[in-house]
Amino acid sequence: MIALSLAEIATITGGDLHPVDPDTADTVVNGVVDTDSRKMTHGGIFVAKPGAETDGHRFVGAAVENGAALALVEHLVDDAVSQIVVPDVVDALAALASAVVARVRAGGMLKIVGITGSNGKTTTKNFLARILESAGETVAPIDSYNNEVGAPVTMLRVTENTRFLVSEFGAAGPGSIARLAGLVEPDLAVILMVGMAHAGGFGGIKETAKAKAELITASRPGGVAVLNIDDPRVAAMRETAERRGMTVMGFGQGADADVRASDIHVEASGTRATITADGETQTLHLKVLGAHHVGNALAAITAAGVLGVPLADAIARLESVEVAERWRMQPMGNDSVRIINDAYNASPDSMAAALRTLAQITGPDERTVAVLGAMSELGENAGEEHDRIGLLAVRLNIRRIVVVGPEARRLYLAAVGEGSWDSEAVHLPDQDAAYEYLRTELREGDRVLVKSSNSVGLRHLGDRLGELFS
């Protein structure tokens, strides 16, 4: 974070400063800002966020021990540290992030990219950050820091030397993307896709599309909208962008895409595609598995091009990416038994894409095994979408379908109903049962996909299998 005095922070957040002693109001801090006391360093700012299971105010002392010089609190605590008391620490964190980014932006060098979409946000963020790092100091979220806390915490990592801020925006509900993106008004709005992920929380896919479009209306007028023109719902956002005086750059496989992919081939070693932009053509070989990641790469290449990075440089940087993110199409195991741990999250779209990738990378003498858990936050569509994935798995000729957990039982029943019986499909109650089954079932030549929503936790099963066959 840039250097600010305690008094300045109190003014920005609208809080009451209670310095640890009268002479510290002018103390300047520029350390880490976080809600996790364990992440504090010397001069850090600890945000004492109340939570459903615990209260951050209990950890002010631990934050001080780790170097915190200031605590943002909602009530005074009995610890020897300067404190700013505010009505809501999350609102204060947002105000601080907005003010800090505005000050850095006033220097004229900082460009801000906002990314949203039902799937692919984190991978695209990582791709774009890898490209931009070669062009200047880049700040991007750690993991999936894309909510009301993670997004401002990321924003507060900018310094006077930061050239690019890449922000990932998740949608907790209608208006949430507008609030988060509105803190910084991105210069570029990147919208990847509108799918069924979280549709249950929005009341349907039309409302999900409206939520994603909030990134455009919260971006700077006259900026650039980078849109996936292969997704009709995203392509339809062109009109909204143009009303705001924004330039629209389309990416996709269609002939009218400004940045286009063709000749896509998925192999066990990665994904190949031909990329065309501004009349120039280059071959891309991603080490990341899956045709769906070509779209994420296109989004990153398009955004980077707007920011002045040549196509050849962008592709070279992308080809250095080994894994998009932990638990996202992460290769594990060995050459005999290959595990693909893609269980950080799941939606109908990403589940289907992962199953197709499994089928594509498995040779004729190898066996496909899909270990599948429930997809969460689908609302009234949950049953139908689990049915659809069960049917798809059978139609892709997945040889072993291992369904884990009671919430995914309908997926198993759909697979059996489609013709996957005689132990081709099994339903197991939990991860431990699945591990014991797979420990003896898996054999040389197996290619194994582990996929579920984050809340189901199958990523840990994937780790166990990866270690077993390492």
CATH assignment of the domain containing 24: 3.40.1390.10
Examine the domain organization and report whether 192 and 294 are in the same domain. Answer: yes
pLDDT at 199 over 70: no
* Domain end call among 318, 349, 364: 318
Examine the domain organization and report whether 81 and 142 are in the same domain. Answer: no
Q: Which positions ≥6 away from 346 have C-beta within 8 Å?
A: 373, 375, 376, 451, 452, 453, 454
Residue 119 marked ligand-binding = yes
Identify the domain containing residue 269 by its residue range. Answer: 92-318
pLDDT at 445 over 90: yes
Examine the domain organization and report whether 298 and 189 are in the same domain. Answer: yes
pLDDT at 262 over 80: yes
Q: Which positions ≥6 away from 59 have C-beta within 8 Å?
A: 37, 46, 48
Provide the pLDDT for residue 326.
85
Best CA proximity match to 129, nearest among 120, 140, 137, 144: 140
Examine the domain organization and report whether 99 and 63 are in the same domain. Answer: no
Largest CA distance in the chain: 77
Domain count, the chain: 3
Instruction: Work out the average pLDDT over 313-335.
Output: 90
Chain segment 115-131, per-residue pLDDT in tens: 999 889 999 999 999 99
Best CA proximity match to 462, nearest among 355, 361, 321, 330: 330
pLDDT band at 318 (very low <50, low <70, confident <90, very high): very high
Higher pLDDT, residue 324 or 99: 99
Backbone angles phi, psi at 349, to 5 degrees: -70, -50
- CATH number for the domain including 381? 3.90.190.20
Best CA proximity match to 6, nearest among 57, 80, 72, 90: 72
Examine the domain organization and report whether 219 and 340 are in the same domain. Answer: no
Examine the domain organization and report whether 363 and 380 are in the same domain. Answer: yes
Residue 118 marked ligand-binding = yes
Residue 120 marked ligand-binding = yes
Residue 138 marked ligand-binding = no
Examine the domain organization and report whether 293 and 387 are in the same domain. Answer: no
Q: What is the pTM of this model?
A: 0.89
Asked if residue 404 belongs to a domain, the reply is yes
Examine the domain organization and report whether 121 and 12 are in the same domain. Answer: no
Chain segment 53-73, per-residue pLDDT in tens: 889 999 999 999 999 999 999
Distance CA 406, CA 455 (A): 13
Examine the domain organization and report whether 119 and 194 are in the same domain. Answer: yes
* Domain end call among 253, 284, 318: 318
Provide the pLDDT for residue 231.
96
Residue 117 marked ligand-binding = yes
pLDDT at 143 over 70: yes
pLDDT at 200 over 70: no
Provide the pLDDT for residue 174.
87
Distance CA 347, CA 136 (A): 34
Asked if residue 24 belongs to a domain, the reply is yes
pLDDT band at 361 (very low <50, low <70, confident <90, very high): very high
Q: How far is CA 442 from CA 95, 139, 223, 435, in A?
A: 53, 42, 52, 10
Asked if residue 408 belongs to a domain, the reply is yes
Best CA proximity match to 193, nearest among 120, 92, 262: 120
pLDDT at 202 over 70: no
Asked if residue 325 belongs to a domain, the reply is no
* Domain end call among 318, 345, 375: 318
Provide the pLDDT for residue 412.
96
